[in-house]
Amino acid sequence: MFSDASAMLSPRPETQGAAVARPVSRPATLATRAAAATPAALAGKVRGLSDRAIAWLFIGPTMLLLLAINIFPLIWTIRLSFTNFRANRPNATVLGVGIDNYVSVLTDGDIWLAMQATAHFLFWTIFLQTLIGFALAYLIDRRFRGHGFWTTVILIPMMLSPAVVGNFWAFLYQPQIGLFNYVVAWLSGVPASSFEMIGSVRLAPWAIVIVDTWMWTPYVMLICLAGLRSIPDYIYEAAEVDRASAWRQFWSITLPMVLPFVMLAVLFRGIENFRMFDMVNLLTSGGPGSATELASITLKREAFEKWRTGYSSAFAIVLFVAVFGMANIYVKALNHVKNR
């Protein structure tokens, strides 16, 4: 089961070519043996399109679409990042500015503030989601009656539109009338109007962490649950025979065997939250001030409000490099853990 995940992350040994007939389970007839003995190229010519032609015919359109919508724009972004182009002034002369945009991105205090906000958001969402998600998965794996139904209920938030979620949490966070403030006030005794989750610089970064955790804990839970269920019972049975305590079993069987799954969940959440835009844009729009201005929100402000297209292209490239670099290092660590 988990070998599939490893296959995704590390090059897979070349699978058998289609033309090489596998041993057929039923008794080989003369025809199957003849087919197996016929060279692939010849067989292909006999039957119309060769396998190679079909392969390119089938993969080609997907590649063309990705080249047109992903690669060509990426190259365009790289080109723009070396200019002073502004998308709202298409007729102004475009000057090459060398690496000036990159220098200003990397020395801009606002960009570093945005990276700090992103780091805070990433760290706390991943920490809380892993903790709660794993605990939930562990509890669900006790297989109580009705666990299937309740698991489905728990999964609902992660299927919703992040933008719509951000918008309705803005309603729940209203200081006077919002349900969130009311419940916190009821539980803690502080007046409901004494704090503003999205209006205060101190609380807003936590407001987005809470919503993201509410939404994505089920994601981590689901992957952890798959990990827990992949541990064969006989390992625990052997541990029981050896009279290992429940605590010991948890630390030396459960945790190490689920760890690769947890790390995979962290990888996916990390990439997703590094790109986070929609939910936060509708919940706080990066405010108050720039307290919740994550990298994507800064990018949107630079590109589509200040129209500094060249500058924001350079920032976009820096973000690409950052996300690919971090994902690669992380995948190496993941493979290391898995092969231990």
Partner 1 sequence: MHRGITTAHSLVEPGPRMRAAAGSLVVLYALITIVPLAWIILTSFKTPSDAISYPPKVLFTPSTEGYCNLFTTRSRQTPEYIAALPPATGRCDQVARNAGMVVAGPSNYVPRFVNSLIIAFGSTVLSVGLGVMAAYAFSRFKVPLKDDLLFFILSTRMMPPIAVAIPIYLMYRELGLSDTRLGMIVLYSAVNVSLAVWLLKGFIDEIPREYEEAAMVDGYTRLQAFRKVVLPQATTGIVATAIFCLIFAWNEYAFAVLLTSGTAQTAPPFIPIIIGEGGQDWPAVAAGTTLFLLPILVFTVLLRKHLLRGITFGAVRK
Whole-number minimum distance, CB 205 to partner 1, in Å?
20
Distance CA 53, CA 75 (A): 29
Whole-number minimum distance, CB 153 to partner 1, in Å?
4
Of 321, 331, 313, whose CA–CA distance to 274 is shortest? 321
Backbone angles phi, psi at 83, to 5 degrees: -125, 175
Residue recorded with tokens 């209920």: 153
Look up residue 116 and give its two tokens. 């700090």
Of 10, 216, 57, 38, whose CA–CA distance to 125 is shortest? 216
Backbone angles phi, psi at 113, to 5 degrees: -60, -40
CB 125 within 8 A of CB 269: yes
Distance CA 225, CA 143 (A): 11
Distance CA 182, CA 301 (A): 33
Closer residue to partner 1, CB minimum distance, 69 or 103: 69
Whole-number minimum distance, CB 230 to partner 1, in Å?
8
Strands (E), 193-332: none
Of 270, 297, 295, 281, whose CA–CA distance to 165 is shortest? 281
Closer residue to partner 1, CB minimum distance, 10 or 200: 10
Closer residue to partner 1, CB minimum distance, 160 or 201: 160
Cis peptide leading into 232, omega within 30 of 0? no
Whole-number minimum distance, CB 25 to partner 1, in Å?
7
Closer residue to partner 1, CB minimum distance, 192 or 197: 192
Closer residue to partner 1, CB minimum distance, 157 or 288: 157
Whole-number minimum distance, CB 24 to partner 1, in Å?
6
Residue recorded with tokens 């729009």: 285
Of 252, 255, 246, whose CA–CA distance to 228 is shortest? 255
Whole-number minimum distance, CB 161 to partner 1, in Å?
4
Closer residue to partner 1, CB minimum distance, 204 or 222: 222
Of 22, 23, 19, whose CA–CA distance to 43 is shortest? 19
Of 234, 258, 20, whose CA–CA distance to 135 is shortest? 258
Whole-number minimum distance, CB 296 to partner 1, in Å?
5
Whole-number minimum distance, CB 124 to partner 1, in Å?
18
Closer residue to partner 1, CB minimum distance, 207 or 223: 223
Closer residue to partner 1, CB minimum distance, 66 or 201: 66
Whole-number minimum distance, CB 248 to partner 1, in Å?
14
Q: How many CB atoms lie within 10 A of CB 173?
A: 22
Distance CA 204, CA 210 (A): 10
